[in-house]
Amino acid sequence: MEYNASKIEKKWQKHWEEQQIYKVSNDSDRPKYYVLDMFPYPSGAGLHVGHPLGYIASDIYSRYKRLKGFNVLHPMGFDAFGLPAEQYALTTGIHPAVSTDQNIARYKEQMRLLGFSFDWSREVKTCDPNYYKWTQWIFTQLFAHYYDQTADKALPISDLVATFEQAGNAKVKAATTQTAQFNAEEWKAMGEAEQRDILMNYRLAYREMGYVNWCEELGTVLANDQVKDGVSERGGYSVVQKAMPQWNLRITAYADRLLYDLETIEWSNALKSMQSNWIGRSTGAQLFFEVDGQDEKIEIYTTRPDTIFGATYMVLAPEHELVAKLTTAEQQKDIDDYLAYSQARSEIDRMSDKQVTGAFTGAYAINPFTDKKIPIWIAEYVLISYGTGAIMAVPSDDERDQRFAENFGLEIIPVVDKSDYPEATLDDKVGKLINSGFLNGMEVKEAILAMNEKVEEMGIGKAKVNYKLRDAGFSRQRYWGEPFPIVYDENGFAKTLPLEDLPLELPKTEDFKPGKGGKSPLSRLEDWVNLGNGSTRETDTMPAVAGSSWYYLRYMDSSNPNAFASPEAVNYWQDVDLYVGGAEHAVAHLMYARFWHKFLYDRDLVPTKEPFKKLVNQGMIQGRSNFVYRANEQFAEKSFKEKLEKYQYSFQTEYPIAGGYVDFAMPEHQLAIEIKSGSDLKRYLEQRKPDYDREGWKLLLISTQEVGKYYFNFDIIAKRINRAIEGTVDNSHLEEAYAHPLFISQDVVRKRNWEASTTALHVDVNIVHNDVLDMEAFQNWRPDYKNAYFVTNKEGKYLCGHAVEKMSKSKYNVVNPDLMVEEYGADVFRMYEMFLGPIEASKPWDTQGINGVSKFMRRFWDLFFTNEQFVVSEDAPNKAELKVLHATIKKVSEDIERFSFNTCVSAFMEATNDLRKMKCNKRSILEPLTILLAPFAPYTTEELWHLLGNESSVHHATYPSYEESYLKEDEIEYPISINGKKRATAMFPSDASKQELEQAALEVEGIQKWLEGKTVRKIIVVPKRMVNVVVG
RNA sequence: GCGGGUGUGGUGGAAUUGGUAGACACGCUAGACUUAGGAUCUAGUGCCGCGAGGCGUGGGGGUUCGAGUCCCUCCACCCGCACCA
């Protein structure tokens, strides 16, 4: 019987669904194991070959764990709220709910084909009211709690109110922006409005006027991580700072726990360091400087309090609130000019040119240690958003301060002598203090401690920890998100809806355009907003991270109407054992999810401190984007690289090109054709030409040329094709192709003997559409110029090349998995994705290699067949066969445990090659091997398993274990080295003693001649490994 | 600039504790079978050399009987953050 993947797949898809073989129970004697994928945002483009990489890995691991006897939770769902659906709706008029449902259906179908063992009965969608009911509820809980630093956990706001009533806030240590102190009487004397304002300063979810990243084009506020280089990550629109009342989450309250608990989880160093950089904890001192002649103090933050004797001036951020107060009449114009200048500069300007600019306020502060008057400046290089927005400048020991001081002629007093550390840079915290009064002679570290003590003693400051982490802006002026469960009463006081009023459903409307000036679309729905009696609803919605911050908990008990998950379910599943997903979520999603989890932990709603025990970041599968540009005349002569660098912007858009390699899907057409010979080319042209003509596509044959040898001889290619098709076809169609640039694949040309090659050609075919791309798009691709090359034909000279980069619809380099599955089968596709390389590495997609895996699959299948008949022998296995089996069991299970799936596939190939040579068709070998392969190739193994006569599913079988005894060898091949260089190998008995080996090694033929005229000084024997003879 | 990571054949990659570098594939070469091959099978394939042999894991140095693996140093590339006081 021939291997027919699609027939097998259809059969078992149906069977598995009917039997619900992947349904998981919350009630099991077996140990639990929770394998989670980062749920996808269902975009309109569908899955490309990059998406399933992580899903395949996690599916293999889940299946493996199941076979090993674990009760495995392996769910899937959709992160379905968010901007793209809404953007899509604005251009097409299709409601986000509709397009989201369509996209989800498409994703599910694609996932179904790939044979994932998800328990779909637990599916979650963040836009489902039954789901976001609990997103809203958690928000109300955050609103109802504050972070108590004494208890080091979140406590109810009602406790805080009780404390205020008894003792005011003096003794409360909490994460808060409240600075003013009050006693119990003062508290009780306050009106409700004032009390509510104060409580707002404590709540973990709070509303506050704040500067936000406002994007007018998108009509919404963006989180810091959605802004890249001063423009929006999505769309690249400009972003400005705007003051608006915003809901925020007080994630900073958890900064220390988010940092220190990183040590308890198994994540990669890269990821942990990204998280800890984002938190950005630094220890330093908070200090107050008196302003000369005014009753004002400037609060600063410094990590180098030891250098205060060298503080010769101060700098405030231009936005600092004291600027207006401090500026003297004489300096007013300077300051106004500077403020105008800095306000006009966008974020992107500030980042791209870091000029030394600033202005003097005319005011002076007093250095508390030198008692000198030091000038107060304002400058862009001090950021309002970090620390206190003001610094003491120490030009002798800070690079930026130094540049500034030199530029404006300010005093520089050296305070740290680094002569003992010639290698140290200005910023290194080493050296001996000089010119620093009581600190003189101390080492920097010592001096910092001494200064902190002194400062506290003098009452002008104290040691303080600072974070880069900001509270999370949580309001979006968009339609497609969770409505806040908040009602403002007739006094404007924010109140949360009780659980029985949840979910607060997102009202249905067709009018979801962003409002003007930051109004949410919901604000236009007056019936919904106005509740009578003066109450109104909050009209902003939550950001996409809201739903994804806790979804892993919902899977534990996804249909529970009474809780986000029952305590029993949460206690059974505990936490996620293995989380697989892309690094693009390294900061935002993982940080918020950890924060929410810790909050729930504080409230005894989850049993663990961290949500994700182990995390694996799958690498990106990249695509190849090809491009062609017609070069200007001036390129004709000079050297290639020089030109590229110098003139890269003077190309004309002549042949923008869509599509990558031929075997890459083309936009809309979804072509996946590989052309390897002239006759293929002819067939291809014949079939496709009418389509292209009709649709206005131009056919362009393209490929890459060897780097450095960029001058291309068009005629050679023409000859090759002619030769390949000589006498067999009418090649008149080819003339069409000849009229356009035509090149040969880089892989072919790069071969040393291209000229001598008589074998098939690899011709990449790309389709050109004149409307597809423009110069701007080309530049946005940021192609890797190392792969660029010139080609000439009779029409001119072209710059061509390809870039390996992220797969994306907009780059026309997407490979669609459906076509791969159709051609090779899901099992082959799964195994090939694993075979590409280590799961964590990024790698370009290469369709050609899939043949190797396909060949393996058929060979494995063929082990069970003789003359197309299913025949397995019941004979007892021999030693060699047992060795292959047990070595494979050992290798595969160990490699799965360490997530090395590519080497697992190799091991299966080796085993199959070996058994094929042995002509082994014994059940005793093939049956365990089938189970072993089941996690990788679920369909094929299920079919074989049933052909072997089994009734139940192979996915419910028991994983075979290996016997060390079968791996033992009678004889071992030893490498024999002379002075560490291998000179021969020889077979020796595996139980030979050291002495025997020493003796035997010297007698090996081929070793003798190396010993002539030399003295054997030493023989090193590592039993079962090697022998090394040291001669001299 | 700071933090993290990676450098191995023509290509993707393997080598788990310092012990036969290049497993397994792709590609390529030759052959077999074929109307045909982009199917299948067989053999070969790190580089140089007719050979003996030499050289080889980004460069240089070191430790060791022995280094892709450990140490020092330099270089290149990728990712994240970036005027963070």
Tell me the per-residue pLDDT of A1-21, one tens digit each, with 9 for 90 and over: 788 898 999 999 999 999 999
Closest-lying nucleotide for A841 based on CA to C1': B6
Tell me, in Å, how far CA of A963 is from C1' of B18?
Answer: 28
SS3 A99: helix
Tell me, in Å, how far CA of A672 is from C1' of B71?
Answer: 51
Tell me, in Å, how far CA of A747 is from C1' of B10?
Answer: 8
Tell me, in Å, how far CA of A3 is from C1' of B52?
Answer: 51
Tell me, in Å, how far CA of A757 is from C1' of B46?
Answer: 22
Find the residue closest to B4 using CA and C1' atoms.
A270
What is the C-alpha to C-alpha distance for residues A855 and A859, in angstroms, rounded to an integer?
A: 6
Find the residue closest to B14 using CA and C1' atoms.
A903
Find the residue closest to B79 using CA and C1' atoms.
A270
Tell me, in Å, how far CA of A646 is from C1' of B7?
Answer: 29
Amino acid identity at A435: N
Closest-lying nucleotide for A1029 based on CA to C1': B65
What's the pLDDT at A730? 33
Closest-lying nucleotide for A852 based on CA to C1': B25
Tell me, in Å, how far CA of A1010 is from C1' of B51?
Answer: 18
Tell me, in Å, how far CA of A968 is from C1' of B66?
Answer: 26
Tell me, in Å, how far CA of A849 is from C1' of B42?
Answer: 21
Find the residue closest to B82 using CA and C1' atoms.
A351
Find the residue closest to B25 using CA and C1' atoms.
A852
SS3 A767: strand
Find the residue closest to B5 using CA and C1' atoms.
A270
Q: Whose CA is closest to A484, among A677, A831, A248, A725?
A: A248
Asked if A495 and A501 touch (Cβ cutoff 8 Å), the reply is no
Asked if A169 and A181 touch (Cβ cutoff 8 Å), the reply is yes
What is the C-alpha to C-alpha distance for residues A116 and A76, in angstroms, rounded to an integer?
A: 10
Closest-lying nucleotide for A587 based on CA to C1': B80
Find the residue closest to B78 using CA and C1' atoms.
A842
Write out residues in chain A with pLDDT < 70, as ranges.
Answer: 223-236, 346-353, 423, 624-805, 808-814
Find the residue closest to B64 using CA and C1' atoms.
A980
Closest-lying nucleotide for A393 based on CA to C1': B85
Tell me, in Å, how far CA of A747 is from C1' of B30?
Answer: 21
Closest-lying nucleotide for A285 based on CA to C1': B85
Phi, psi of A929 (to 5 degrees): -65, -35
Find the residue closest to B85 using CA and C1' atoms.
A302
Tell me, in Å, how far CA of A1010 is from C1' of B53?
Answer: 13
Tell me, in Å, how far CA of A420 is from C1' of B62?
Answer: 27
In sequence order, what DSSP letters do the residues of A843-885 get, joined into one string?
A: EE--GGGHHHHHHHHHHHHHTTEETTEE--B-PPP-HHHHHHH
What's the pLDDT at A744? 32
The residue to which tokens 């080609």 are assigned: A791
Tell me, in Å, how far CA of A751 is from C1' of B9?
Answer: 13
Tell me, in Å, how far CA of A179 is from C1' of B46?
Answer: 70
Closest-lying nucleotide for A750 based on CA to C1': B10
Where b means 16+ CB within 10 Å and e means fewer, A339-377 reads beebeeeebeeeeeeeeebbbbbbbbbebbbbeeebbbb
Tell me, in Å, how far CA of A660 is from C1' of B75?
Answer: 33
Closest-lying nucleotide for A751 based on CA to C1': B10
What's the pLDDT at A732? 35
What is the C-alpha to C-alpha distance for residues A760 and A708, in angstroms, rounded to an integer?
A: 24
Joined together, the tokens standing for residue A10 give 């259809």
Q: What are the distances in angstroms from CA A142 to CA A50, A121, A157, A543, A600?
A: 37, 30, 10, 16, 9
Find the residue closest to B26 using CA and C1' atoms.
A849
What is the C-alpha to C-alpha distance for residues A637 and A49, in angstroms, rounded to an integer?
A: 42
Closest-lying nucleotide for A357 based on CA to C1': B83
Closest-lying nucleotide for A832 based on CA to C1': B25
Show which positions of strand B are touched by protein (CB under 7 A).
Answer: 2-5, 10-16, 19-21, 23-30, 36-41, 54, 65-67, 78-85
Joined together, the tokens standing for residue A803 give 């870039």
Find the residue closest to B39 using CA and C1' atoms.
A855
| ipTM for this prediction | 0.95
Tell me, in Å, how far CA of A943 is from C1' of B54?
Answer: 54
Find the residue closest to B23 using CA and C1' atoms.
A906
**Residue A33 host element (H or E):** strand A32-37
Asked if A616 and A580 touch (Cβ cutoff 8 Å), the reply is yes
Tell me, in Å, how far CA of A927 is from C1' of B58?
Answer: 47
Find the residue closest to B29 using CA and C1' atoms.
A757
